[in-house]
Structure 1
Amino acid sequence: MMIRKLPFAAALLGAVLFTGAAMAQSMIEEVKERGVIRVGVKNDAPYLGFTDDKGQLDGFEIDLAKDIAKRLGVKIEFEPVKASNRVQLLQQKRIDLIIATVSHYRNRDKVVDFTIPYLYTPQTLLVKKGSGIKTVADLEGKRVGLDAGSGSVKKLPLVQPKVTIQTYQNWPEAFFALQRGLVDAVATDNILLAGLRAAAPNPEEFELLGKAGFYGGGFYAAAVREDDSKSRDAINFLLQDQWRDGTWMTLFNKWLGSESKLKMTLADFGDFTVPDWDD
């Protein structure tokens, strides 16, 4: 009798598993039901995501995230993340979305789903004035400070094999090492370096290299959990809406452009525009 019941039991179990899978909620559905979206952000990236003098998180990415929550009609909770733990926190469902200077690389796309980009950032060098470092070629035999979780840890030695990499817990620590003379340069996205220099007591002592110092570049994008196309598309549409109605440009000028200390232009970001699709 037990043998004759096995096919039915197996079919019943399969139906239950199928129903459970079909009923699995997307992140967007969970967020709307909860009424809160939990966003992983940086708290150590000046002008992008940082802690201000009042102890509050602020910056370009912070405001982008706030606007996304507003458009979704939910509250927002921020979770400060590091380059080394942000993906794990997303996979563990401790956060719903990452907006934290994440460049869209193929190896990262294997474990999370990326939205369309919201910024392009060339990668370059920050050095002390008078260092003699003008190009990546000049890094031969030099020490470069990097965030331990940065993609530049692997990328920079590919373009300059004779460089010595020294890693730190975050970008401010790497910049502090440059200030102390423990490294000869800091290498990463130009906007991160511009923010570190602008926040320093003596920014005039440091030089941010332009095109001669470029060794790569990447698109910042938001990240959601793997295989959640419904949530990825929902965030994509909101990013496009921010661009279409001028919100993106308002926030860009506030934090990075004409109204900010950085006075950067879209040309500094490869004349970036948000990819758009027809309705």
Structure 2
Amino acid sequence: MKKQVSVLLMALAASVALLGCDKKEEATPAAAAPAPVALSKIVVGLDDNFPPMGFRDEKNELVGFDIDLAREAAKRLGAEVEFKPIDWNAKEAELNGKRVDVLWNGLTITEERKANIAFTAPYLENRQIIIVTADSKIKDKAGLAHKVIGVQEGSSAVEAIEKDAATAKSFKQLKKFGDNVTALMDLSAGRLDALVVDEVVGRYYTAKKPGEYVVLEENFGTEEYGVGVRKDDNELLAKLQKAIDEMKQDGSAARISTQWFGKDIVK
């Protein structure tokens, strides 16, 4: 009898052990993927003295081509947009330090910047033009030799000039300014011989003072503008690209361009 009870107890113990093993081997349900965080606000870093891309009007309100594009994109994303003026020479530090979410202000796409910033597809094409006063004897890039040339510090114009090493080496001085408005004032006052600047900016200013400036035929190359975000901010980049693509397709980008440039120059 004891033997039968012992056998029975051993069988029960084995069954319990097997049940325990089966329980441990049951597949744990996969955790549900976290829902995407709703985009509620986009902080746009910009140089607020860069017309017609972004600048302050007579009422000290921020206006401009890129301002209008960014507002339209944010509206499509259902997000509030805040424009934050920054030191444009420190724009990458401002972005990667998370003090702004986006750089959207005539930002040229370069290989050097792509190492630190993720860009949308280009939305505008631009050249680095040379502006002189109407009475200047400078007619081409060769005429810049032994002259004082102005440029905005931290702008892509600096890189464009450096790529043309022979011409850059011929300058008497490359003088850097915090903004293009001050540089143009120095050009008019004779403290500069020429200014190298983004075409969209240069054309805007020269059109306001017809007969005072001349844009030379030669330039320092063509470039493309894009919107910059942090390299790990893939979700924001994808959303912005989708919004920009839709704006191009439905004519909104063309309408904004025509308001600022008199024609559709969106790429």
TM-score normalised by L of structure 1: 0.77
Tell me the amino acid that sits aligned with residue 162 of structure 1. Answer: S
Matched, 1:205 2:212: yes
Matched, 1:67 2:72: yes
Matched, 1:120 2:111: no
Matched, 1:191 2:200: yes
1:153 offset after TM fit, Å? 2.1
Equivalent residue number for residue 106 of structure 2? 101
Q: 1-side partners of 2:62 and 2:213: how far apart?
A: 26
Residue number among 193, 209, 217 corresponding to 2:222 in the alignment: 217
1:228 offset after TM fit, Å? 2.4
Q: 1-side partners of 2:124 and 2:184: how far apart?
A: 23
Equivalent residue number for residue 43 of structure 1? 48
Q: How does 1:72-87 map to 2 (within 5 A)?
A: 72-87=77-92
Q: How does 1:95-244 map to 2 (within 5 A)?
A: 95-159=100-164, 160=167, 161-163=169-171, 164-199=173-208, 202-209=209-216, 212-244=217-249
134-143 or 227-236, larger mean C-alpha shift: 227-236
Structure 2 portions without partners, runs of 5+: 1-30
Q: 1-side partners of 2:156 and 2:127: how far apart?
A: 13
* 1:20-68 CA-partner distances (Å, limit 9, x unpaired): xx97x9xxx6661xx2211112311122111011111001000000001
1:134 offset after TM fit, Å? 2.2
1:157 offset after TM fit, Å? 4.1
Equivalent residue number for residue 7 of structure 1? none
Tell me the amino acid that sits aligned with residue 256 of structure 2. Answer: L
Equivalent residue number for residue 90 of structure 1? 95
* 1:8-30 CA-partner distances (Å, limit 9, x unpaired): xxxxxxxxxxx9xx97x9xxx66
Residue number among 46, 54, 62 corresponding to 2:59 in the alignment: 54
Contact 2:151 2:180 (8 Å CA) reproduced: yes
Contact 1:152 1:188 (8 Å CA) reproduced: yes
SS in 2 for 1:85: helix
C-alpha spacing 1:166/1:30, structure 2 compared with 1 (3 Å)? farther
Contact 1:81 1:100 (8 Å CA) reproduced: no
Tell me the amino acid that sits aligned with residue 196 of structure 1. Answer: Y
C-alpha spacing 1:207/1:71, structure 2 compared with 1 (3 Å)? same
Tell me the amino acid that sits aligned with residue 197 of structure 1. Answer: T
Contact 1:40 1:81 (8 Å CA) reproduced: yes
Q: 2-side partners of 1:150 and 1:116: how far apart?
A: 20
Structure 1 portions without partners, runs of 5+: 1-18, 259-264, 267-271, 274-279
Tell me the amino acid that sits aligned with residue 179 of structure 1. Answer: S
Equivalent residue number for residue 16 of structure 2? none
SS in 2 for 1:117: coil
1:137 offset after TM fit, Å? 1.8
C-alpha spacing 1:191/1:92, structure 2 compared with 1 (3 Å)? same
SS in 2 for 1:132: coil
SS in 2 for 1:40: strand
Q: Report how many aligned residue pairs link the two structures.
A: 232
Tell me the amino acid that sits aligned with residue 36 of structure 1. Answer: K
Percent identical across equivalent pairs?
28
TM-score normalised by L of structure 2: 0.81
1:244 offset after TM fit, Å? 0.2
Q: 1-side partners of 2:162 and 2:78: how far apart?
A: 45
189-198 or 248-257, larger mean C-alpha shift: 189-198
1:110 offset after TM fit, Å? 0.6
1:120 offset after TM fit, Å? 0.6
Contact 1:143 1:165 (8 Å CA) reproduced: yes
Q: 2-side partners of 1:96 and 1:158: how far apart?
A: 30
Contact 2:153 2:178 (8 Å CA) reproduced: yes
